[in-house]
Structure 1
Amino acid sequence: MTAASVVSVSRDPEHRFSKEVVDDIVLIAGLGVEGDAHAGTTVQHRSRVARDPSQPNLRQVHLVHAELFDEVEASGFEVAPGELGENVTTCGVDLLGLPRGTVLRLGPDAVVEVTGLRNPCVQIDGLEAGLMRELVTRDDEGQVVRKAGVMAVVLVGGRVAPGDRVGVELPEGEHGALQPV
C-alpha cells in the first residue's frame, strides 16, 4: 500500500471554478490558503456570503482524492488536479470516509480539521457536460452520495507541496458520516 500523500496543490485569488496548480501553497491558521479567494474567517463562497456573510468559514481548504479522477475516467471523463476547485489533491486517503473532526497533517507542519463534504454545484458540468452525475450519485439505499471532496479548516499553518505525506488522526468518540458544509 502506498503511503498517503499530497499529489498536487492549487490556489486562485479569483472566484473561478478551477484553480491553478502551483509548486506549493501556504496554509494560514484560521484563514485558509494564502492567496486563495476562499481564505477568511467567515464564509467566502459567493452564494453563502449572499445568505449570511457572518457565518464561520468551514470551507477554508478543499481536498479531493486523486482516486476520483481514475473513477470518473472509467466513465469517459478527464479531470486533472485543480480542475474541481480543490486546493489539495491527495492519494491513499479515503477522504469521503473520514468522520467530521478528523485531523489531517499535511507535510511537516500544516494541520487541518475536516469539517464536512463539499456539496457539488452545477458549475461542474461547465468543466465537462454530465460530470455532475458522476460526482453526485445514490447508494443502494437511495441516499445521496457526494464525491467532490471534503472541506477543512486550518488549525496550524505551514507550507504544503506535492510529495508531502498526509497523516490521519481520527477524532475520539463515536464517528458520524460527513455532511455537506
Structure 2
Amino acid sequence: MNGNVGSYVVSVSQDAQHKFSKQQRPSILLVEGLGVDGDAHSGTTVQHLSRVRRDPTQPNLRQVHLIHAELFLELEEEGFSVQPGDLGENITTHGVDLLALPEGTLLRIGAHAVVQVTGLRNPCLQIDRFQAGLLEAVLPRDSGGNVIRKTGIMGIVHTGGEVRVSDGIQVELPAEPHRPLERV
C-alpha cells in the first residue's frame, strides 16, 4: 500500500460552525495537534458536541474526517445523492481503501501534511435527517451480523500543512502487528 499510485484528494471542506455538512474550499490548512484551521472540530480535546457533554477532557482523536469518494458512487447506485462535504468530512479521497487501513497509519497528503489514522467514524442519526434511509445504507451488516461502518475514518494531524484538491496521498503503514480500526 505504500505510495499508492492514483491516490489523491478529490475535495477539501471546512466549516467554523457545528453543522452536519461542511463547505467545500480550494484548500484547507492542517495544524499539528489541532486539526483543520478554522473548523468547528479543531482542538486538542474533543469538539464533537455530544462527546463534549459526556467528557470535555477527552483527547480529540477526531481532528480530521476523511471519506473515500467511492462511497458516493455506491450510495448513488442505491438512490442517494451525496457530494463531497455533505457528510461532514474534511478530506474526500480517491484511490485509498480507507476502511481497510490499520490504526496508526500515516497519510502523507500533498507536500507536507501528515494525518495519523485513529479510527472509524461512527455515524449518528443526523445522517437520516440529511437523507432518509442513509444511516442504514452506510451501516450495513455482514453475513455474521457485524456492523460495517462505511462513513470514513478519523485522524489527528501529525504534521501540519496545506491540503488542496488534486494533492497526492501516500500511505505509510505502521509496524506490525496491525490493529484494525475501531470506532472513535
Of residues 144, 156, 170, the one that matches 1:167 is: 170
TM-score after normalising by structure 1? 0.98
Does residue 59 (structure 1) correspond to residue 52 (structure 2)? The answer is: no
Q: 1:122 is matched with which residue?
A: 125
| Matched residues, number | 181
1:127, distance to aligned residue in structure 2 (A): 1.3
1:176, distance to aligned residue in structure 2 (A): 2.4
Q: 1:13 is matched with which residue?
A: 16
Does residue 73 (structure 1) correspond to residue 76 (structure 2)? The answer is: yes
Paired letter, 1:167: Q
C-alpha distance in structure 2 between counterparts of 1:110 and 1:166, whole Å: 10
Offset from partner CA, 1:41-60 (integer Å, 9 cap, x none): 00000010011100000000
| Aligned-partner SS, 2:148 | strand
Percentage of matched positions with identical amino acids: 60
Can you give the 5+ residue segments of structure 1 that lack an aligned partner in the other structure?
none
C-alpha distance in structure 2 between counterparts of 1:114 and 1:141, whole Å: 26
TM-score after normalising by structure 2? 0.97
| Aligned-partner SS, 1:144 | coil
C-alpha distance in structure 2 between counterparts of 1:86 and 1:110, whole Å: 17
Q: 2:143 is matched with which residue?
A: 140
C-alpha distance in structure 1 between counterparts of 2:179 and 2:77, whole Å: 30
Offset from partner CA, 1:62-111 (integer Å, 9 cap, x none): 00000000001110001000000000000000000000000000100000
1:2, distance to aligned residue in structure 2 (A): 5.7
1:126, distance to aligned residue in structure 2 (A): 1.3
Can you give the 5+ residue segments of structure 2 that lack an aligned partner in the other structure?
none
Q: 1:32 is matched with which residue?
A: 35
1:177, distance to aligned residue in structure 2 (A): 1.7
C-alpha distance in structure 1 between counterparts of 2:169 and 2:121, whole Å: 19
TM-aligned CA distance change 1:82 to 1:97, over 3 Å: same
Superposed counterparts of 1:45-56, under 5 Å = 45-56=48-59
Q: 1:22 is matched with which residue?
A: 25
Does residue 91 (structure 1) correspond to residue 94 (structure 2)? The answer is: yes
